[in-house]
Amino acid sequence: MVKMVPYEAFACPCGAGDVLLRESYKPKIRGKLYYACPRSKDLQHLHAILQELQHLKAILRELQEMHNAQTASTSLIR
């Protein structure tokens, strides 16, 4: 295997672009650097997306509750 320095860039075999240098978070090899395909998603990125979706879901739920309360109070007036 050819030793690579962290700042070197080279194309991914799949053709998606240059590979990414990532740090492992697995307990046995924590902190080790590795190269990954740019199409792959790391768990931290996916976790951040999931948190954002949960936050948006909570906002949507609040808006729906406000709309339902407004609709209910409007129907009582009629």
Are the beta carbons of 2 and 10 closer than 8 angstroms?
no
Tens digit of each residue's pLDDT, the chain (78 residues)? 455 555 677 888 888 888 888 888 888 888 888 888 888 776 666 777 788 899 999 999 999 999 998 887 776 665
Q: How many CB atoms lie within 10 A of CB 66?
A: 10
Compute CA distances 31 → 11, 15, 24, 26, 70, whole Å: 23, 27, 5, 8, 53
pTM of the model: 0.43
User: What is the per-residue pLDDT for 3?
Assistant: 59
